[in-house]
Every structure is written in C-alpha cells, then in structure tokens.
Structure 1
C-alpha cells in the first residue's frame, strides 16, 4: 500500500513531489518526543549525514539528523510510537468526561449552524479540556488504598478515584466528545421543517429517524476497514495533531506542566480578545482599507466596493483584501491542514473571485435582480419566495400555485456554488479510480490475509476485532427504523426511495474516505444526493430532505468512524471499545442538538428567514438546504436540458473529465508531475464560499502561509512544540466566549442586548463598506 498516494507520474503525490513539499513535511518530526522510542536508532545512524539518504532499504531522507516524513509509512515508523501500555480504556471516568464535553461541543456546533459562517468545536481543544479534567480527577480524588474496607476500595477503583489518567481513557473520552455531532443531519431536517414548512415531526418519527440517520453509515466503515483504516498511507492528516498530542501528554510527562501553562494563557487571552471583535469592536471582524478609503464615495460606488471588498456581514461580498481578526471564523484548521491541501485551495480562490464577480456583473441568470450573495429562493421580481406558497398541506409541490407564482430563481453565487460542488464530486470519483485503483486492490488483499505491513496494524492484532455481524446487526436495526418512518408517511419519502438513498451513499462513501485519509479534507457530496432525490421524487422537497440526509449521512459517518478507528489504531484502543462508544456519543449528541435547535429556531425565527441575516445570526445554511430541496424537487424544470440551470448537473460530467485532463497533461509535460495538484479540491473551493461571512478568507491564507510555509520550515522547533497547542487554545477561548455571548446577549434564548452603536461597532456592516 506504499504507493497509495501516487499521482499520474507514478511518483509520490504526498511530499516528495516537489522541493516545497519536502520542506512541508519536516513537520512531523513534530512529534518531537512522541516517537522517540521508534526513532532513536534511526536518528543515531543519520548523524553527520545531513540532507543525505540513509542507506537502509527504505531510503529515508534525513535533515539535521531527523527523518523527513514523506508518506504514511514514515508516519507509522518515525512519527507515531507503537507503544502500548495495556492500560484500561472503557472506564467510568472516560464515559463521564466524554458525556460532559459532548454536551459542550453539541451546543456550540448547533449554535454555529445559525451563524454567518459554520464552524465546529476544535477536536484538539476538547482533547486538552478532557486531559485537564481527567488529571484533576486523578489528583484530587482519594486513592483506594487509603481505605481498609474492600467494598470501598472496589467502589473507588470503579469510579477511578485517585487512579492515573491513561492515554486510552483520554482517547475514548475525547472520541465521545468529538462524535456528538454525527447525528446533526437529522436535526437539520427538523429545523428546516420548522422554519420553512411550518410543521414539526412527531416524537416517534424524530426518535426513529434520528436513530436511523445517525448510525446507518457505520456499516460502510466496517466493511471498508481493510481499505480505509488499516493501510499506513491512510493517515487522516487533520487528526494527526491529536495523535501526536495524545502521546506527548502521556508519554512525555516532564514537559506537560509547561505545555499546559502556555495553553492556559493562550486560552485566556483568546477568550478576552473574542469579546472585542464579536461584541464590542465588531470592526475587527473585517478590516478593509479599501472600504475605509471610499467611505465618502457615492452610494452606487460604495455598493460595488462592498460587493468586492466587503465581507464582515453575512452575504455582504467577497471580502477581497478584507482581513478578519475574529478567530472564531479563522480557526486552527489552517495551522494543521497540510501545505499541499492549502495550496490547492489558494489556487481555487484565484478562480473564485473573478468567477463570482463575472457572473453577477454580466447578469448571468438575471443575477442583478437578486442579492449578490444569498441562498434563499426568489421570485422573478426579486422578492423572496416563501416555501409554503408553492406547497400543499402535505408538503408536496402544488402545480396550480407554482404556475401562478412561477419557477423559483437562485442567485448567481448559489448556482456557481452548486456547479463547483458537482465538479468536485465528479473529479473525486475519477481521481480515486485513476490514481489509487491498483493500490486499493492491494490493500484489500493484504488486510484479508493479515499481511498488512503497517506496525500499528500489526500491534492491534492482539485485540479482538469487531465482528462483521455487529455492524450488520446495527445496520439492520437502523434499516428497520428507517422503514417504519418512511412507511408511516410523515417524511413523504417512500420506502423504495429510502433504499435508493442508502445505496447511493454506500457507493460514494469509499471515494470520500480515501480522499479524506490522504489529504485531510474531503469533498462536499451532499449535492449528488439532492440531485438523485429530485430525479426519483419530483415535486417532493421534504422527501428530498430526508433522502439526502440518509444518503449523505452514510458517507459522513463512514468518514468519521474511519477517522476515529485510525486514531484508535495509532493509540492501541481496542476495536470494540471504539465501536461501542461511537454509537453512544452519536445518539447522545443528536438529542442535545435537537434541544438547542428548537430553542434557537423559536427565538430567532425572523432573522433566520431573512435572505441576508446579520453579523450575529444567519439562516444562510438552512436556506441553502431548503433551496436545494425545492429546486431539485423541480429538477426537470429547474435543471433539465432546456432549463436555465442545466450547467449545474452538467458539472458532474465535466468534473469526471478533470482528473483525466490532469493525467494527460502530466504525461505530455513531465514537470507537472512535481506539482501536488488535486482537481477535486480545486473544484470544490472554487465555489465553496458562496454565502455567509467572507472576511476570514484572506486571514486564513495568511495563517496558512505563516504556519505551513514559513514557521514550519524556518522555525521547526517552535512549530513542533506550539503550533497545534496554541491553535487549539485559541479555538477554545473564542468558542467558549461565543457560547456565553450567544445566550447572554445575542438572543439565542430570548431577548437580544446589542452593544451601543459607535464607530467601532456600527449599526450597518462592521467593515464600513456600506
């Protein structure tokens, strides 16, 4: 499986493809002390041979005595220790801590669903919080040996009182806390029904549908474990910082005090700072020199300037050269995503800016009749289309009402976003088949024969694997629950449509898992679910919602479970513990998400229905889901061969050809083989931000260049020690404050209390663009 990341040239698409990429991976030596046991001998052999290749059979490159991590095999041998202390994993403490922090992460994630830009709680931040409380539990509770009574001793040991907090407990608690949002898709459907259809599902439908949607995809990950978990090349790069941190905290205890002190200071400072850009000085959320320079210009000029350079408010503009100092929208992912992934997104932004402006100002699809950016549906005169105006009482398109009002219109930004998503889906399928097909077959054969050479896979063979029938039983239960719900009729999705949804998700899931494992980021595949749903269920937007939720959730859950199974493989947590706790966390999080959703939708309904929203609340994401459901329910009229948006489904076909073109160009021009190009990622990010806040885009590029290009190469010691740690602390500090402000002053639970208006916190757009 060592060739799993080969590009069209047959050379490694990972790090060794270019000189830039080589410098990029000096990273992972990051792991500083983590893998010292496995690195010691190799490092000694390399002393005095700087920038030279070792003479061992793997030809590993060493720089200043340290191995350069070029691929997944290097990660397994040099970066991640294969140490296994045999400590317990499934304990009372791990369940309690995991449950407590699932509540925190679920609530914050649900809040961000209704924010101008969607974010999730940093997994590394949750990991560190779990560690702090786990250590406190061990230190400040009495040890069992202090008591003479055996019954008391047994009880205290069960409660982990005074017992050391081990790495496996830590992993399990963090897994539970991070998996609480696996069931988010079902809750989003219920939110859409409340907002746009003025209806809510019954308790039985909510329970059964949530159970089925939340867990149906686990069987795919179970079936594909030999392909998407066991091979060394399936690294899941964005979770690598978590594995490194797990082992640093538990295998290198001498450095823990200093790390945690720095983490605490960074968290406190980030929390204090977050009050300013989010509440007191909202101008910090979007600094635009161009907007300030044209503040006295005519209104027409300022409108154009705002479209190009404004981005601090939801759906305001493209945010070109608009820098945000609000960390809640930047986040630490740009400190950890590999350079090759970020490079592809930067290429995509070069396409995104002119494409969005060109479509709007050329009046494509009557773009100027509607807002520049919005995910709402509109009438031909530019007014917002109310969903219920074209539906009957059962949530099905009423042809008579539709004929009177006319077909819905989309903004040009939304059409471009849909088109690029389809481009990315097509490119994903072809890219995986062309570049990774042979290696997938090899990986499967190695796993089936248990000859997979990865040392971490070999170390896990002593633990009982999850029997395939466990996955199958879980799937059968989910399948039956789905059958009951769809047969009942409340979802408007027929049983046969539900089965097609599961089959579609099962087909796409392997492609998504492979790309995510290799690059640390995937492709938005929800669009293809909407397309197929529209084709098989015309006139049924609610059926489209449920079809897409089941279909896409199969894909999402396969990625999430594979990701955590890989973490478990690296940290030697037994397979069965990982399986059971993932199920528990998913169901717990779904319930908490539902409770928070109903609170926010009830109290902020009007602003969530507004096409533009404001700098605090926005229904853009939910509006986008609804727009897709409505328009794909009218697929023949909206996206057919003779319709105005035919380019959207055509994107799938064009996308299928992009990797073929890439492969052909690389054959003709060999130098292209050295460029870590991934057309699926470029296609996706060329229209990824078609709504919401955009002031973070330039800031994210700056953060990525600073971290992955400069700090990592020039000051690797500082990068290795503090890059992930400080980023996680900043995520945590900002998200805790947003959680507090959302309920205290932003009106999540009722009355809103705005900060007094002044120049630094204007009543209009925070960046003074209009």
Structure 2
C-alpha cells in the first residue's frame, strides 16, 4: 500500500449534510437504500489538488491512504456517508469507550488499537496534521459505531439491513428440510468410515443455491398456510435461513457417536437398544443443547467480542454464490469472488484424486522414515502414523492442511495451539524414553488401553453381568495407557480448572452483564434482549421480535423430562440423579468455555469430565460412564452448534423467532433421519471391526470404548489412586496457576498480548487421539502465509478472497472425496504401486511398535497381585 499522504485539505470539517438529508437515527444506523445513498451525501475535500464532491474519489483516496483497505466498495460508500454524522466530540467519545472495552481483546487489530490510543491523546500526539487527524478520528469512530471493529467481520457482513427481504418462506423450509434429511442420513453413514468425510456445510450450501434459484423460477406464487410459496427471486436471507436449517444435519446427532460402543456385540452388546430408544435419546440430547444454547445468547452470541471466526466463511460463501459484486481491482487482482471460487474449487476437486487415491504418500508424507524404515526411534519421533510427527514437511493434502482450519481461526489461536503441540511432543518423548509409568511397553501415541502382557485390553475378562468383577480383575490385569494418552488426559484436567478460573477473571464484566440481563429479561418479558446491547448489529436487530427466554426454558424442561424417563424406563443401569449431577457440572463449565470458543475458535469439550463423574458415581459400570459422557458432551457440543447458527442469523439479520422455529423443526427431522441411518449401519458385515471391507472401522468408537474401560469399568478411583496418581493432582494444579498467569498478563500486556494460556494448554492435548504434530505443521505454514503475512500486508486482498479460498478448497475436497468413495473405495479398487505403499512399509506403518518388549511368558507394570 502507498505511504499515507499529507496533502488533504478539508472543507467544512470533511463535509456537510446535504439539503436532502440523511436518516441517521441511532436507533437504526444501518437502514438506508444503498443504491441511492451516494446521491444523498455531500462531502467536499480536495483530492490531488482538485475540488470534488464525488464519493468514489473520496473512497479511493481513503483506501490509498491505508485507512480503509479492508472495506469493500459498497461498505466504504456507506461508511463515508456516516462520517457526516460524527463531530470531533462524539468521535472521541466513541473511540475512548472502544479503547477501554477492546484493549485486552487479542482479536482487535493491534495497529488499530495503537492508532486509537494516539487519536485519544490528541492531534499533536497523532502527528499527521489536522486534516488527517480529523479524517482518521471520524473514520475509526464510524467503523466502530456503524459497522464492526474487526476486519474479518467487516469483510463478510453488511452494516445495513432491509427488513422487507423474504426470509421464512415456504420454499426455504422445503429446500432446507430436504437437505437436512439427506445430510443427516448420509453424514451419519460416512461418520464411522476411516478416513471419514461428509456432506459438509459448504457442500450443502453449494447444492442448495441452485435449488432455491430453480424454485424461484418454476414455483407458482400462491399462499399455503398463510405463507407465500414463491415471493420472487431467491434472496441471500433465504439462503442463510436454509443454511441454518441444513447445518443441523451437517453436524449430526451426538448420541449416535456413542450408540455403536453401547449396542454392538464387539463392545458392550446392549442389543435391546432399538430405533425408538435411539430417537428418544437423540431428542433429549439435541433439544437440551438447543434450549441451553438459547439461554447463553447473552454470553456468546450478542456481545461484539463474540466474533465466532469459524462461521465467517459460511456467510462469505453464500454472498459469493448469490450476490453480484462490483468489479474492483484489489492489490492487482480484478477477479470476482465467484470466479475465484470456481477456479480454486476445480483445482481442489481435481488435485484431491492425487493424495487420496493416485499417490497417497503425498497425504501421509512421512518421508523421514523412508530413510531407515526399520528404525523404531526414527519412526517414533518423526512418523505420521504411530509417531509424534516431528517432520518439517508432512503433507500435500488439503484435508490434512485444513485439519486446524488455518485460514479461518485467528493467527494467535493457531500459533498458541501449535506451540503447545510442540511442547506436548517433547513431554511425550521424555516420558517414553524414561519409561515413565511403563509407557515404553506401549506405542508412544495411541488411544488404546493395554494389559500387562502388551495386548489391547480385553474388558470381557473383567466383567460379569456388565459390571466389574474384582476377582476377575485381580486375575487379569490393570489397564495401562500410552505416554501420549497420559499426557493428554493430565493436561485436559489442568485446563478444566485453569480455564474456568482464567476465563472468569478475564471476562468477568461479560458474565456479570449477561447474568443481570437474564434475570432482567425474566422480570420484563416484553423487553427485547437486543435492548441490552448497543453495537450496530444489535441495534439493527431491534426491529425483529426476540425469542423470549421462557421459550428456551420450556425446551430445556421437555428435553430433561424425556431424558429422565428414558434413563428410568430402559435398562441403562444409570440412575437419573447421576445425569442431573453431570448436567449441573457441565453447565457450570460450559459458560466460560463457550465464551472462549466464541472469540478464539477453540472448543474445549467436557466429555472427559463427564466420564470421570460417571465413573465415581456409578463405579465399575462402563455403560453408565458412556451415558454420562453422552449427556455431558451433548450439552456443550449441541449448545455450541446452535449458538453458532444463532450468530450466523445475527450477522445476517434474520428474525430470531424464525430461526428458533427452523432450528427446532430441523432438529426433529435430523434425529429421525440419523437414527434410520444407524439402523442401516448396524446391518453392515463386521461393522466397526478393523477388518471391515469398506473401511467402516469406527476409530472414534474404539477410543470411546478404551476410555470407558479406564474411567468407567476400572474407574477413576483405581486409575487415579493406584495407577496414575498424578492425574488427580492436575485439577489442583490448574486451579493454583490460574491467578498468577492472569496477573502476569496484566503486568506485561504488551509482551504477552498474543499469548493465550488456555489455547497453549489446549495444543498440548492434541496427541493420543490418532493424531500428532504432522496434522498441524502444514496448517501452521498456511496460517503464517494467510492469517499473518497476507492479512498484514495485503488486507484488502485478504478481506475479499481469504474465506472464499478456504471454502473453495474444502468444498472441492468434499465433492472429490465423495466421488472417489463411491467410484473407487466403496467396493475397493486398489491401486498398488510404491507411492501408495511406502508410507506404511516401515515401522511407522505398523499398528503396534514399542520401545520395550514384554518377555515371553512375562509381564510389565506393578507387581503381580498388588492391585485391587
């Protein structure tokens, strides 16, 4: 970008309001007719020595000066118009309040924050002369008051709204319901395949757009149930409405993640679990998430700091597919977003055939192990399969590069988590090579549980009538876990207490205001929640009736009753009071953790905590630990999903009550469709076996099974007190270090600005779930390129193309993966050559490889007969 020029000569303090006037009431800052708005403003400045009233010239000059290079033309026109409504006094008030509110916010651009600080100090401190000081002060104030302080939000969201645009139409419901049923059924089938892929939200978005446009052309304009079937052209708001409906199907039903380990004879063999029980459990888990997600709107949806970076590409993709954009040259690129998407979608679609089928070594590029394939130490350190992945170049596959969503999450999120992952690997190496807690007898990074003979733990040898038999347990073996599994569990427990305390300390004012607003809303049931927020989006949303809190409370009550009845009426072996305890504990932790997710994109699940609680309250019962984990995880996962869609609606200015109806109805369809898909899966030969011919091996189900053994059957008492006592102290460690870290951030705000301790600790926990550093290194490179360098140097290009690039590459992989699966992998057509064999040819390709071996007839671990 060009250096900032100092030859601005402002007339009448950057212009005057024209005689035609501008409707700039604070109650509705974004309501205007964008097509005629340029004619309503009369801003006069000198540009390159020529006196002009042309808004385009003013916009071009401002963008050249580097102050608005992330604002696209249509929004720049709006912001320039709003400059007229702000004088110096009002502008100073706005930026001063913003500085106090955002000074500790990592998402707020550091450059903008420093600029605001200088503006507050005055014209002399700013040092750019009176003309530029006046412009920049008003500009920063206008962006904050009438748009968004975050460039990533400005790049996808409009600062205006037209409430007359159709949203909740009958055709939108029909298209949405069709795709939520298809997406739920297909995704439930594909979920258990390894490698898994799905009809992602991007794929369904792309498929639903032509459906909407076709419906607009062929359907008659008649009313059915009081709703117009075809009110005209397919609108962006209708498309966003359909996206929210179909997102329910794209995410899947949580209970069905756990159903195989409960029902299949390969695991716990609870064959009494019928389609009806699956539907009932789906209802209680999904609706509880919807109800509680609605209650948490004040914490994680409406606050302006709740950026929700993970959802921004969804809005950008829909805008690209539907809206006609003005042609503009940005950093030398004149390509429209639509053409840009098509080009990179085609490239991704074609290229994915290479790493996924033709040359799979490019996907798992463990090239360092090829040097000495039989060297165990080399495989343990650098390997991508059983190793830790210390390899500078690990993959040329976008599905691997995108595993950490590097083009979506803020750079500091990716950086903190990657640095944590690096440290986690070092800790595993130390534990493994010192044989800490007998970890050298187990592969270094596996989620499986082993017995003392070096075999995968056979839980059937310690169960009698589905519960632990102590005598059988004493005869067989204690359970042992890998170094990666042990470290992951330990740090996860640290995060539970540390994260809870740290987020409460850093975001206390958010929690205080939200709690006050919640009880105020119950007392004044006619008051809109939006009246408690004064950011531009919430102000625009005040024209729409809000969903009362009691609606969500009713959903909560219904789902709770359904869950209690299911636990009592079926042979779940899980007392109702245990579920209540789990839900209370999960609710307490969910509130701060969802605030963390809304700002950073890092989601910390409470499933491990729920398993521990179940293990303590119902000892020796693996099935009960799975049910408690189901309720705990369903609460946080589904709440996060529904709140993310509510934020989509908030950014897109959709009526909240329409969104509530859409989410509720879509959930019902999803449950019945997903439960039906699971019944189909159960009929597959060898379903969830490692030898399943079509690769329906259920990797996550095996992980669940292992954890239910350790923390359910054997129980946390034996695990924490006898086998791994360090684990129980991790909760205390987390609580003790939260306050010192909080004050360290306060004392050194500049030096520690980009350091986020919860994200850093979260990075350490990335091991032992069949993933390792090799899945995150290529994503770190992508984040450095796009989220740091390009965003910093070429912000306008980044704002226009970055999210489109991520969506195009991801959608191309998804469509290509589906085609490859149906054509070449469902009934395997194997391509055998060196490039498809080399990754698994050495030690790194083996399922089991250990540093130490158990002597024939011997064992490792605690002395024989010393465990209880």
Tell me the alpha carbon deviations over residues 557-615 of structure 1, each in whole angstroms, 9 at most, x when there is no partner: 222222222221222211111112112223333344344445556547477458xx999
Q: Distance in 2 between matches of 1:491 and 1:181?
A: 29
Equivalent residue for 2:593?
A: 512
User: Which residue of 432, 438, 444 corresponds with 2:509?
Assistant: 438
> Is the Cα contact below 8 Å between 1:421 and 1:688 reproduced in 2?
no
**Which deviates further from its counterpart, 600-609 or 708-717?**
600-609
- Give the alignment of 1:109-120 within 5 angstroms: 109-110=187-188, 113-114=191-192
**Which deviates further from its counterpart, 223-232 or 65-74?**
65-74
Deviation at 1:515, TM superposition (A): 0.8
**Which deviates further from its counterpart, 249-258 or 562-571?**
249-258
Relative to structure 1, the CA distance from residue 361 to residue 592 in structure 2 (aligned partners, 3 Å threshold; closer, same or farther) is farther
Matched, 1:308 2:381: yes
Q: Distance in 2 between matches of 1:505 and 1:578?
A: 25
- Give the alignment of 1:553-632 within 5 angstroms: 553-600=634-681, 603=684, 605=686, 608-609=689-690, 619-632=698-711
Deviation at 1:425, TM superposition (A): 1.8
Deviation at 1:44, TM superposition (A): 8.9
Matched, 1:243 2:318: no
Deviation at 1:389, TM superposition (A): 3.0
Equivalent residue for 2:417?
A: 345
SS of alignment partner, residue 249 of structure 2: coil
Matched, 1:32 2:72: yes
Deviation at 1:542, TM superposition (A): 0.8
Q: Distance in 2 between matches of 1:227 and 1:669?
A: 27
Q: Distance in 2 between matches of 1:232 and 1:143?
A: 41
Q: Distance in 1 between matches of 2:760 and 2:685?
A: 36
Deviation at 1:154, TM superposition (A): 4.5
Equivalent residue for 1:12?
A: none
SS of alignment partner, residue 304 of structure 2: coil
User: Which residue of 519, 524, 528 corresponds with 2:609?
Assistant: 528
Equivalent residue for 2:177?
A: 99
Deviation at 1:381, TM superposition (A): 0.7
Equivalent residue for 2:397?
A: 326
Equivalent residue for 1:495?
A: 576
Q: Distance in 1 between matches of 2:678 and 2:489?
A: 26
Deviation at 1:283, TM superposition (A): 0.7
Deviation at 1:398, TM superposition (A): 2.8
Q: Distance in 1 between matches of 2:685 and 2:81?
A: 61
> Is the Cα contact below 8 Å between 1:424 and 1:679 reproduced in 2?
no
Structure 2 segments unaligned to the other structure (5+ residues): 1-65, 99-111, 116-131, 329-334, 521-526, 846-868
> TM-score, normalized by length of structure 1?
0.84
Deviation at 1:498, TM superposition (A): 1.9
Question: Cα RMSD between the aligned structures?
Answer: 3.6
Deviation at 1:277, TM superposition (A): 0.9
SS of alignment partner, residue 709 of structure 2: helix
Q: Distance in 2 between matches of 1:473 and 1:649?
A: 38
Tell me the alpha carbon deviations over residues 471-526 of structure 1, each in whole angstroms, 9 at most, x when there is no partner: 22222221221122111242221111122222222222211221111212221221
Deviation at 1:120, TM superposition (A): 6.5
Tell me the alpha carbon deviations over residues 630-669 of structure 1, each in whole angstroms, 9 at most, x when there is no partner: 211223443333x222223332222223332212333555
Matched, 1:280 2:388: no
Matched, 1:361 2:436: no
User: Which residue of 700, 716, 720 corresponds with 1:640?
Assistant: 720
Equivalent residue for 1:190?
A: 259
> Is the Cα contact below 8 Å between 1:760 and 1:766 reproduced in 2?
no
Equivalent residue for 2:484?
A: 413
User: Which residue of 684, 701, 718 corresponds with 2:762?
Assistant: 684
Q: Distance in 2 between matches of 1:670 and 1:274?
A: 44
Equivalent residue for 1:397?
A: 468
**Which deviates further from its counterpart, 448-457 or 496-505?**
448-457
User: Which residue of 372, 394, 406 corresponds with 1:294?
Assistant: 372
Deviation at 1:57, TM superposition (A): 3.3
Equivalent residue for 1:141?
A: 218
Tell me the alpha carbon deviations over residues 41-84 of structure 1, each in whole angstroms, 9 at most, x when there is no partner: 367999xxxxxx97573168479988598999524996632313
Deviation at 1:366, TM superposition (A): 1.2
SS of alignment partner, residue 755 of structure 2: coil
- Give the alignment of 1:130-169 within 5 angstroms: 130-138=208-216, 140-141=217-218, 144=221, 153-154=222-223, 160-161=229-230, 163-169=232-238
Q: Distance in 2 between matches of 1:536 and 1:627?
A: 19
Tell me the alpha carbon deviations over residues 188-236 of structure 1, each in whole angstroms, 9 at most, x when there is no partner: 1211122412333123321211111121122222323223222222221
Equivalent residue for 2:561?
A: 480
Matched residue count = 715
User: Which residue of 160, 181, 185 corresponds with 1:82?
Assistant: 160
User: Which residue of 270, 278, 283 corresponds with 1:206?
Assistant: 278
Equivalent residue for 1:50?
A: none
Q: Distance in 1 between matches of 2:83 and 2:693?
A: 55
Deviation at 1:121, TM superposition (A): 5.6
Relative to structure 1, the CA distance from residue 380 to residue 577 in structure 2 (aligned partners, 3 Å threshold; closer, same or farther) is same
SS of alignment partner, residue 381 of structure 1: coil
> Is the Cα contact below 8 Å between 2:401 and 2:778 reproduced in 1?
yes
Deviation at 1:94, TM superposition (A): 1.7
> Is the Cα contact below 8 Å between 1:376 and 1:620 reproduced in 2?
no
User: Which residue of 460, 469, 473 corresponds with 1:388?
Assistant: 460
Relative to structure 1, the CA distance from residue 322 to residue 244 in structure 2 (aligned partners, 3 Å threshold; closer, same or farther) is closer
Q: Distance in 1 between matches of 2:197 and 2:73?
A: 31
> Is the Cα contact below 8 Å between 2:186 and 2:677 reproduced in 1?
no
User: Which residue of 609, 615, 621 corresponds with 1:540?
Assistant: 621
* Rg comparison, structure with higher value: 2
SS of alignment partner, residue 581 of structure 2: helix
Relative to structure 1, the CA distance from residue 250 to residue 281 in structure 2 (aligned partners, 3 Å threshold; closer, same or farther) is closer
> Is the Cα contact below 8 Å between 1:277 and 1:325 reproduced in 2?
yes
Equivalent residue for 2:542?
A: 461
> Is the Cα contact below 8 Å between 1:505 and 1:553 reproduced in 2?
no
User: Which residue of 779, 782, 789 corresponds with 1:710?
Assistant: 789
User: Which residue of 205, 211, 217 corresponds with 1:127?
Assistant: 205
Equivalent residue for 2:493?
A: 422
User: Which residue of 245, 254, 272 corresponds with 1:176?
Assistant: 245
Relative to structure 1, the CA distance from residue 89 to residue 222 in structure 2 (aligned partners, 3 Å threshold; closer, same or farther) is same
Q: Distance in 2 between matches of 1:166 and 1:135?
A: 9
> Is the Cα contact below 8 Å between 2:687 and 2:697 reproduced in 1?
no
Deviation at 1:743, TM superposition (A): 4.3
Deviation at 1:763, TM superposition (A): 7.0
Equivalent residue for 1:721?
A: 800
**Which deviates further from its counterpart, 446-455 or 208-217?**
446-455
Equivalent residue for 1:41?
A: 81
Tell me the alpha carbon deviations over residues 256-312 of structure 1, each in whole angstroms, 9 at most, x when there is no partner: 9943333223222212211221112111112244223335xxx2x2x221222221x
Deviation at 1:436, TM superposition (A): 0.9
Deviation at 1:324, TM superposition (A): 1.1
SS of alignment partner, residue 196 of structure 1: coil
- Give the alignment of 1:368-379 within 5 angstroms: 368-379=440-451
SS of alignment partner, residue 653 of structure 1: helix
Relative to structure 1, the CA distance from residue 706 to residue 103 in structure 2 (aligned partners, 3 Å threshold; closer, same or farther) is farther
> Is the Cα contact below 8 Å between 1:91 and 1:169 reproduced in 2?
yes
Q: Distance in 1 between matches of 2:76 and 2:178?
A: 34
SS of alignment partner, residue 81 of structure 2: helix
Relative to structure 1, the CA distance from residue 249 to residue 738 in structure 2 (aligned partners, 3 Å threshold; closer, same or farther) is closer
Structure 1 segments unaligned to the other structure (5+ residues): 1-25, 47-52, 145-152
Q: Distance in 2 between matches of 1:637 and 1:221?
A: 33
> Is the Cα contact below 8 Å between 2:317 and 2:807 reproduced in 1?
no
